[in-house]
Amino acid sequence: MIKLSSTKNENFSSRNYGIQFGNLKTNYIQMKKIAIIIMSLMLTFSAFAQSKPDKMEWWKAAKFGLFIHWGVYSVPAGVYDGKDIDGIGEWIMNNAKIPTARYQAYAKQFNPVKYNPEAWVKMAKDAGMKYLIITSKHHDGFALFGTKASKWNVVEATPYGKDLLRPLAEACHKNGIKLGFYYSQAQDWNNPGGATYSGHWDKAQDGSMDEYIDKVAVPEVKEILSNYGQVDILWWDTPCDMTKERAEKFLPILAKYPNLITNNRLGGDYNGDTETPEQFVPATGFPGRNWETCMTMNDTWGFKSKDNNWKSTKEILQTLIDIVSKGGNYLLNVGPTSEGLVPQPSIERLAEVGKWMKINGEAIYGTTASPFSYLQWGRCTQKGDKLYLHIFDWPKDGKISIQLLNKISKAYLLSDPKKMLVIEKSKTNNTITLVGDAPDKIASVVVVELNGAPKVLPLPAAGKTATASSEKEGTSAKNLFDGNPKNSWQPKPDDQEKWAEVDLGETISIGAFSVVEPWYPWDNKGQKLEIQYKSGDKWLVALALKTNGTGHTASFPSVSARYFRLKIVEAKEPTLNEWILYRAD
Following DSSP, what letter does each residue of 40-95 receive, concatenated? Answer: HHHHHHHHHHHHSPPTTHHHHHH-EEEEE--SGGGTTTTEETTEEPPS-GGGHHHH
Residues 219, 148: contact at Cβ < 8 Å?
Answer: yes
pLDDT of residue 53: 73
* Residue 267 identity: G
Cα–Cα distance measured from residue 421 to residue 404, given in angstroms and rounded to the nearest whole number: 17
The CATH homologous superfamily to which domain 61-363 belongs is: Glycosidases (3.20.20.80)
Cα–Cα distance measured from residue 280 to residue 525, given in angstroms and rounded to the nearest whole number: 14
pLDDT of residue 305: 98
pLDDT tens readout for residues 420-461 = 999 999 888 899 999 999 999 999 999 999 999 999 999 999
Q: Domain 378-450 is of which CATH architecture?
A: Sandwich (2.60)
CA 483: distance to chain centroid? 18
pLDDT of residue 32: 45
* Residue 243 identity: T
Instruction: Decide if domain 467-583 falls under CATH 2.60.120.260.
Output: yes
Residues 445, 380: contact at Cβ < 8 Å?
Answer: no
> 539 pairs with which residues across the strands?
534
Residues 156, 146: contact at Cβ < 8 Å?
Answer: yes
pLDDT of residue 468: 98
pLDDT tens readout for residues 93-123 = 999 999 999 999 999 999 999 999 999 999 9
Instruction: Could you list the beta-strand ranges (E) of 288-342.
Output: 290-295, 329-334
Helices (H) then strands (E): counts for the chain = 13, 26
Sorted by where each begins, the domain ranges of the chain are 12-51, 61-363, 378-450, 467-583
pLDDT of residue 427: 84
Q: Find, among 278, 358, 276, 364, the residue nearest to 318 by Cα.
A: 364
pLDDT of residue 30: 53
Cα–Cα distance measured from residue 68 to residue 355, given in angstroms and rounded to the nearest whole number: 21
Residues of the chain with pLDDT under 70: 1-52
CA separation, residue 368 to residues 62, 289, 384, 452, 486 (Å)? 11, 13, 9, 15, 22
Cα–Cα distance measured from residue 276 to residue 272, given in angstroms and rounded to the nearest whole number: 10
Any idea what the Cα angle at residue 296 is, between residues 291 and 298, rounded to 5°? Answer: 155
Residues 356, 442: contact at Cβ < 8 Å?
Answer: yes
Q: Which helix (H) or strand (E) holds 16?
A: none
pLDDT of residue 52: 56
Q: Per the confidence metrics, is the pTM higher than 0.85? A: yes
pLDDT of residue 585: 78
